Chain A
């Protein structure tokens, strides 16, 4: 069972590009439909949990599925499985990458690629904005965190902690008002 969990997540790690959310449909097919380790409802829980805990979605999901299916060792081997392909592939590529860098054509290619990547990041930002709940708290936090880092170069960790505390306080106040 644990070997099968490991191999399944090795496969998931090796075949999802873009990571994170791209992995969820694959997890669903392998873990729910094929092997019946978890139910569809568990998959929804995974998404909710992965979003509200720190760390990469892929790691969060692998650890959660492994733990639910087979306890601590399940969690350990699922996580190892999902990390291993990335680790090996990047390690191999980075040796090659360093040698390619000196070629003029490769440098030109990366000049173009950097502009393209910037567009991909902006697209990811637009998608996240669409999914984010709207309201005055959201807009204030978005603007404040942007200005704090882009203009005043405030430490990113402080901004993250500050925004979490601000969200907590405003939602507790809103709840209290609701009850009254």
Chain B
């Protein structure tokens, strides 16, 4: 049953990702791609949509994957799929915060929580690093890695857009502007070469 599967998968994602924003990306991507629900490419495309629309990345992602998978059952399937995935990703947070709010003072002073965090914070960094590698392969080598690839238009244009976007991002240019610029360059390269 796809709806239960969506709920459980996103419940797991909600229960095991620490930190905001892209901290969720490695787990979402591994789960969703390994289940065959989406490709790396579709997820990267959707990140751009999520950056340009309001709301948290995790919710946007859950709603999007949910509606896509439920869609095989028609329009109500889209809606129900989106609902199940979003409920799944929200519920662990909701329950845990209710518990924590009750025992807040104890939680704040807890050596166990602090200890776990000393491992979790750097773990998220390592995991996002690995997500960048796997996505980098999708972006730079869409047809697979070989020596000839390094001279193709696809590789050179992707590398140029990536470097330009990185420089702009480090200069604190707004993400939406960077996305619009990357899109324009992508269109230019597509029609010129």
Q: A123-B169, A175-B111 are in contact. Are A17 and B44 (CB under 8 A)?
A: no
- Provide the bound-state CA to CA distance between A121 and B135, in Å: 10
Most chain-B Cβ atoms within 10 A of its Cβ — which of A113, A147, A169? Answer: A113
User: Which of B56, B98, B126 lies in contact with A86, CB distance below 8 A?
Assistant: B56
Chain A contacts for B108, CB-based, 8 A = 45, 48-49
Q: Is A53 an interface residue (CB 8 A)?
A: yes
- Provide the bound-state CA to CA distance between A138 and B121, in Å: 8
User: Which of B133, B138, B176, B182 lies in contact with A150, CB distance below 8 A?
Assistant: B133
Chain A contacts for B112, CB-based, 8 A = 168
Which residues 81-124 of B sit at the A interface, judged by CB distance below 8 A?
82, 86, 89-90, 92-94, 96-98, 100-101, 104, 107-108, 111-124
Pair B125/A49 contact, Cβ less than 8 Å: no
Most chain-B Cβ atoms within 10 A of its Cβ — which of A55, A72, A107, A150? Answer: A55
What is the interface residue range for chain B against chain A? 35 or more
Chain A contacts for B178, CB-based, 8 A = 116, 119-120
User: Which of B59, B98, B122, B170 lies in contact with A137, CB distance below 8 A?
Assistant: B122
Q: A107-B190, A118-B162, A119-B166 are in contact. Are A125 and B128 (CB under 8 A)?
A: yes
Pair B187/A167 contact, Cβ less than 8 Å: no
Pair B20/A56 contact, Cβ less than 8 Å: yes
**Total A residues in contact with B, Cβ cutoff 8 Å:** 100
Pair A156/B26 contact, Cβ less than 8 Å: yes
Pair A55/B96 contact, Cβ less than 8 Å: yes
Q: A126-B170, A156-B27 are in contact. Are A137 and B111 (CB under 8 A)?
A: no
What are 15 sample pairs from A and B whose C-beta atoms fall under 8 A apart?
Answer: A14-B55, A53-B96, A54-B14, A56-B14, A108-B190, A110-B45, A112-B185, A113-B179, A115-B157, A116-B179, A141-B123, A142-B123, A146-B129, A163-B122, A168-B116
**19 extra interchain contacts, Cβ-Cβ under 8 A, other than A20-B21, A129-B125?**
A13-B55, A17-B51, A19-B55, A56-B93, A82-B56, A83-B90, A87-B82, A89-B53, A97-B49, A110-B48, A112-B183, A116-B182, A117-B48, A118-B44, A118-B136, A141-B122, A145-B123, A149-B26, A160-B16
